Structure 1
């Protein structure tokens, strides 16, 4: 089943102009969200390496996965400029002179080398806001790191397998698009630009809060302790069962043949055994039909 992303229908950023210098995933993903909210978006990229195939992008994401790059840049005007040269700097500043928000993903020292630190920008462009995506906050912003290291630090890497998606990067992109909205509101209320820092490590920490609170640790309600909230094998695949709330759990218990009792009964070993056996005896199609008929939240994963 294809995965789709529901983008905002309301155009809250219509009339707002954003220039992005951010490469890889978090910045372009944030720009994609802003574009979907109606912003006019410009991406300034370095020139590709000398001798590159025509159409090559200097953004590493265009090399890792061109389809992902193209998706994130739909509707975005992409310019090429070497910011280490006078010509490139002039091209960028022509854009900044008519821009509301600048989005970056450089370390602070790299921004300073380009003359784009906040102290310089706010003097030259008082109305401009800066949203800085960094790896870690404050004094740690110069440390090397990536999505995987920030997830590991936040406790989201629990074995040797890689997580199924880039949680810190995508969480950071959502925080960055939220920061653009926040910056715009503050611009309108204060009459001048603001500087906001978004740290990918903080995005990972935010996504890890349920684990930090103990909600998803082993044996907790949504950590495998509740018999109605687990993934079970079935005849031809697996079923993700999410009958957590008391009314869902009661319907499941009745369907499985468990005696009627309070919610804590779903934490008992006998309940886990009964639900596991019930799932194992049924196909994905049968479970889907039962879920629809009995209003039980579940999703089947047939064996490929």
Structure 2
């Protein structure tokens, strides 16, 4: 899946993505397009997107190194540690409790990899990060669905990916200026809320 990486403003920046499905892979694809060296880490079962939309999966993974690592295995965790030691940015889309069980909570990572910034894509903002959701539920809760119909646009997923890229870039700029890494969360529900602002203000 790896291809020759074109140069860009993020040339020399290393990104490790543990994110599967849509928002994370879209964000990783955007970062790779900006020149970052992206390693996409998938579980042995693969990214579910590959089974649902294989063409889109291949498109989003273009220009990245795709590696299969079992994070529940000690050997796999050591392989991930080696990747994180050389990375500048970690992209995740799992619930905080799942990351914590794998030893990948920010409080653990920042001590072991002080150079590493992290963008965590979650469904809902604190304190509801553990609450499951879907693009459809985020749009519905924001009032963006006027009729009882399934929308043709995955607004929360795609817009959330763009916000994850923005937060990741901001974290890298902050680190360059201060020397301190940082952690930020992108809540997909909040992304939809922002798109609903015009309606809430009567526009």
TM-score range, shorter chain: over 0.9
Task: State the alpha-carbon separation in 1 of the partners of residues 40 and 113 from structure 2.
Answer: 19
The alignment status of 1:14 with 2:2, answered yes or no, reads no
Which secondary structure does the structure 1 equivalent of 2:127 belong to? Answer: helix
Deviation at 1:11, TM superposition (A): 2.4
Query: 1:242 is matched with which residue?
Result: none
Query: 1:66 is matched with which residue?
Result: 54
Among candidates 125, 128, 143, match of residue 155 of structure 1: 143
Determine which structure has greater relative contact order: mean sequence separation of CA pairs < 8 Å that are 6+ residues apart, divided by chain length.
Answer: 2
Would you say the 8 A contact 1:62–1:69 is kept in 2?
Answer: yes
- 1:115-168 superposed Cα distances (whole Å, 9 cap, x missing partner): 010111010011100110000011100001111000000011111211121000
Stretches of structure 1 lacking an aligned partner (at least 5 in a row) = 1-8, 49-57, 216-304
Query: 2:27 is matched with which residue?
Result: 30
> After the TM superposition, which parts of structure 1 deviate over 2 Å for at least 4 consecutive aligned residues?
9-12
Deviation at 1:10, TM superposition (A): 8.9
Deviation at 1:192, TM superposition (A): 2.2
- 1:154-202 superposed Cα distances (whole Å, 9 cap, x missing partner): 0111112111210000110000010111011011011121001100001
Query: 1:75 is matched with which residue?
Result: 63
Query: 1:213 is matched with which residue?
Result: 201
Taking the TM superposition and a 5 Å limit, the aligned residue runs for 1:1-304 are 11-48=8-45, 58-215=46-203
Task: State the alpha-carbon separation in 2 of the partners of residues 212 and 69 from structure 1.
Answer: 35
- 1:230-255 superposed Cα distances (whole Å, 9 cap, x missing partner): xxxxxxxxxxxxxxxxxxxxxxxxxx
Would you say the 8 A contact 1:128–1:192 is kept in 2?
Answer: no
Which secondary structure does the structure 2 equivalent of 1:197 belong to? Answer: strand
- 1:204-224 superposed Cα distances (whole Å, 9 cap, x missing partner): 111222222221xxxxxxxxx
RMSD between aligned residues: 1.2
Deviation at 1:32, TM superposition (A): 0.8
Stretches of structure 2 lacking an aligned partner (at least 5 in a row) = 1-5
TM-score, normalised via structure 2 length: 0.95
TM-score, normalised via structure 1 length: 0.64
Which secondary structure does the structure 2 equivalent of 1:44 belong to? Answer: strand
Task: State the alpha-carbon separation in 1 of the partners of residues 32 and 86 from structure 2.
Answer: 17
Task: State the alpha-carbon separation in 2 of the partners of residues 118 and 190 from structure 1.
Answer: 19
